[in-house]
Structure 1
């Protein structure tokens, strides 16, 4: 699906002012090693106090865009998330250190003003407008809520409905500049809401948004199929080119600090292996690929290139498709998880450039986060024990174990299709390790490269895949898209890739969302994690690392694994420009 990555680096801060060469300003907030590695405070890494005005920066995207709606299940790809971070305003965007921060450019205040019922109040800055001159108002908050609330729009393909499905009303006063939100159920992660918002006046052009059918049309078709013409951020889209790249120019109606760059280009390079070459040839200024050992080594050798390996706010998992007939049997799923060695997968992949990488021991939390504990070892996840895997199948009535496995009904277990993104060497390597682990059990695996993993997963012709899922400071909200069961009769929803569902997990997730404190929410999530583990649907591998590499002349770009490096493009600038 996508990417992100963790590291065990010890971070320190250096505020040394460096001048000379092509540097036009004073750089701070980090240190750079001889090979170009940037370390220091993740919130200020690569800070440059003075950069030039004008010029163009080119940033690489990896995945072709087939859906532009970042809040839609089909649109929440990394390419669209990178772009939406520039175009769509959020109330509480996430900082590089994974903490939410009020967007004071959009709203002057956002706070909880009542508990019974829970009530929020947002005050929109009077200067906040969309790029076509329309003011940002309560209407935009109302539309975003209704499109993401399945009670208001049952057929809207929302990537996450958490919190929105608990709102009773959204009302605007003061000409729409004050927004009051009331809930019919408590919501612990309320700061996760309205990040981002969609322009209601644009939605109305796609369908009558006062009806469920109109909401569905605007959300699933209008925002999804049309290149965004309206922006609430520092840049707006000028052109979507025939090669799948996106050209942006300054948003003249932008209500924040004027961007330093004149133009921002998102260049599509689907072959990750070619991205370092494009950076070396100065065809692009920044790349954000999976951190594979060969790519890291190439970047280390490039002159005038900086890079960051930073803690990632996501995890790498193996997903089983519970819609596929053979995967409906828990014994086969358990045997797969017993046969695969997670330590070996790590050693053969990211462990080659980060020795601190360790197996992930749960589904619901990042390592080190409050609530993280070992939820998988007692279920023998990722132990690499072929004999135990064989015994599990034999005990369940399978035959042909060790040769060609036959299920208890006498049907041969078909070859399992492992879907991986074309050109993604990391995931291909992981798929090959899984294939090798299952061969002595008597289970065949076919590695199938696909042009777009998101589309392939939704089409359903797969049994196994490797997927990255994002975590956040809002643990209860984060886990809903992945582990809350789909509605009856639905085989794919949100980011529940394998159509996992357990009513007990659903209850615990909802309890976490309604919890009075984060600590109470964590307790419910720990119980849910144990049940998910006992169901053998998702095999956690490791916490990801983010890898951002960029031309040394590009100031103020830095990694942000939740809001993406594009979270602060108005601050980007070229050193030496005038």
Structure 2
């Protein structure tokens, strides 16, 4: 693999990082990679290779200083690993709004064709097992050249070459254009209507700008308009999950919008029986488990050594560590944890564990602008919520970094601007919140929960606060919010949802707490979160100026220009609209049995520890 410098201009505060990377060497054109087997391979410009052994580096303690080698070591052949997924997933098609979750990403990891990804040190890395050369972006065209032998492995053991058709199908899934795919029927709030057949893309950013996708031999070209600006073009296309030939075999005419919509729906409802990665799914049950075995037709240089990898969904966080102690699971990288988990892990001698945060994942509260339509009421709510009190009550002595900007974390030295504390949001300042309400004509704000009266004299309805029932920290935050908002006369009803995706696209909440899990990219994020037409704009923000700014971000020529536009948009999203309250960067916890090597967290990618699944293994005997 070859690496590209990260877009973020800051160093992440991390404890658990990653494994495999190749960086460009000296003038000879050498590349060097440290592999899972505990050896370094150097490839010279003329294609010759030399291999030297490097010391194994077991455990996660060294990840902060040696992020590319921690917990590395040689593997033995064979073995079975069971790894935790801590929440359910709602489908098998990542492209769709209902399937676009971190848990779907983790469930599928290992079966896709990876073009490139962010590694645990924050650098983008091209997958040179797939690519014959590094991609380019010239004259509005991104060009990918595939190696010979990159194939899909089919359920019957046969193979099908990865082709231009696969890239075109992905474009049609995500373009949002009716000539490519029927977009399906939505309700008044913009959510998919049950039973409607459409693509329902989670985001159309960048794909909607592509004017054509063409091929020339092993080359695939994405054509953007002439003069198109794209500062983060390298991460446009991360990989392929859904083969065109499978869609055709199911009888879908993917040359028509109707056929593409039917294919999108089918891929969401059916377990993948194919693979373009190191593992293939042997059996799976939606929202429960995925069992993977090595792909017999895997073309990559790093061969899996495990017999099986089972991804087991366990939402009950009290059972994780007992299951680990009994080796009912071998490890996990859950989306949340409590201080009790840390205390228990400190007493487990046969487990490696680590905490860290790269700033790519953060918690936030969003507001439903359809039901809470008065900006003054929203501003009062966000002001009355007490982030400091909540953080202490939830995390104890663990202090995740506050998030004062939805796009840029506080330790970004170049682009960060405060868009939270400057407005008093999250301060818990009851008097300031009451004054906002008084100035807007509200009364009863000092009368306790349920006493608040709107300017027209009507009682302000109870505010429904949605959260994922199995996420203990979010449930605790919602409970605390009941007391915070009671101080300004608002009754809060808790809405504990078993399915986060279904909750977000439903109209059954006024406030909701959840996390965004991403990467060091930022030019597409604001568009996905806040564009009025985005399927991920769950609270229905609709502001023409914001739409113009986030679109301009996509067209910016430099990261500096893009960041300035982002911060202009955030001043409106928070300062004027009071649409969201960023809380804090998510602290990631990873724990893994000492019998395993090459497993560690990746704070810069939604896959988390699954990012290098091909390298996982049982530690070789000394």
**1:189–1:513: 8 Å Cα contact kept in structure 2?**
no
Query: Who is 1:223 aligned against?
Result: 267
State which of 514, 519, 523 in structure 1 corresponds to 2:560.
519
State which of 56, 59, 62 in structure 1 corresponds to 2:83.
59
**Offset at residue 378 of structure 1 (A):** 2.5
Query: Who is 1:146 aligned against?
Result: 172
Aligned 1:270-419 pairs, distance under 5 A: 270-289=315-334, 290-312=336-358, 313-324=360-371, 327-350=372-395, 352-355=396-399, 357-369=400-412, 370-403=414-447, 404-419=451-466
Aligned 1:16-165 pairs, distance under 5 A: 28-29=56-57, 39-48=64-73, 50-115=74-139, 118-132=140-154, 133-151=159-177, 152-153=180-181, 155=183, 156-165=199-208
Higher relative contact order (CA 8 A, sep 6+): 1
Aligned 1:539-554 pairs, distance under 5 A: 539-554=581-596
State which of 161, 170, 187 in structure 1 corresponds to 2:230.
187
Aligned length: 546
Worse overlay, 199-208 or 339-348:
199-208
Deviation digits for residues 520-546 of structure 1, max 9, x if unmatched?
111111111111111101001111111
Distance (whole Å) between structure 2 residues aligned to residue 447 and residue 504 of structure 1: 33
Worse overlay, 360-369 or 390-399:
360-369
Aligned 1:415-494 pairs, distance under 5 A: 415-486=462-533, 493-494=534-535
Query: Who is 1:263 aligned against?
Result: 308
Query: Who is 1:538 aligned against?
Result: 580
**1:56–1:264: 8 Å Cα contact kept in structure 2?**
yes
**1:121–1:179: 8 Å Cα contact kept in structure 2?**
yes
**2:82–2:310: 8 Å Cα contact kept in structure 1?**
yes
**1:269–1:275: 8 Å Cα contact kept in structure 2?**
yes
**2:18–2:600: 8 Å Cα contact kept in structure 1?**
no
Distance (whole Å) between structure 2 residues aligned to residue 250 and residue 574 of structure 1: 15
TM-score (norm 1): 0.89
**1:315–1:366: 8 Å Cα contact kept in structure 2?**
no
Distance (whole Å) between structure 2 residues aligned to residue 84 and residue 507 of structure 1: 35
Q: Where does structure 1 lack aligned partners over 5 or more consecutive residues?
A: 1-5, 20-24, 487-492
TM-score (norm 2): 0.83
Query: Who is 2:544 aligned against?
Result: 503
Query: Who is 1:232 aligned against?
Result: 276
3-state secondary structure, aligned to 2:172: helix
**2:18–2:67: 8 Å Cα contact kept in structure 1?**
no
Residue 199 of structure 2 corresponds to residue 199 of structure 1: no
CA change 1:200–1:99 in 2 (3 A) is same
**2:288–2:312: 8 Å Cα contact kept in structure 1?**
yes
Query: Who is 1:171 aligned against?
Result: 214
**Offset at residue 440 of structure 1 (A):** 1.4
**1:346–1:358: 8 Å Cα contact kept in structure 2?**
no
3-state secondary structure, aligned to 2:524: helix
CA change 1:383–1:242 in 2 (3 A) is closer
3-state secondary structure, aligned to 1:448: strand
Deviation digits for residues 363-393 of structure 1, max 9, x if unmatched?
2212333311112223211111111111111
3-state secondary structure, aligned to 1:134: strand
**2:90–2:286: 8 Å Cα contact kept in structure 1?**
no
Distance (whole Å) between structure 2 residues aligned to residue 206 and residue 348 of structure 1: 55
3-state secondary structure, aligned to 1:441: coil
Distance (whole Å) between structure 1 residues aligned to residue 169 and residue 452 of structure 2: 52
Displaced runs of 4+ in structure 1, greater than 3 A? 6-15, 25-33, 37-40
**2:16–2:601: 8 Å Cα contact kept in structure 1?**
no
3-state secondary structure, aligned to 2:202: coil
Distance (whole Å) between structure 2 residues aligned to residue 244 and residue 31 of structure 1: 29
Deviation digits for residues 439-487 of structure 1, max 9, x if unmatched?
111101122221112111212211111111134222111222211112x
**1:13–1:29: 8 Å Cα contact kept in structure 2?**
no
**2:17–2:67: 8 Å Cα contact kept in structure 1?**
no
3-state secondary structure, aligned to 2:357: strand
**Offset at residue 188 of structure 1 (A):** 2.5
Query: Who is 1:490 aligned against?
Result: none
**1:39–1:308: 8 Å Cα contact kept in structure 2?**
no
Q: What root-mean-square deviation, in Å, do the aligned CA atoms of Structure 1 and Structure 2 show? A: 2.4
Distance (whole Å) between structure 2 residues aligned to residue 135 and residue 32 of structure 1: 39
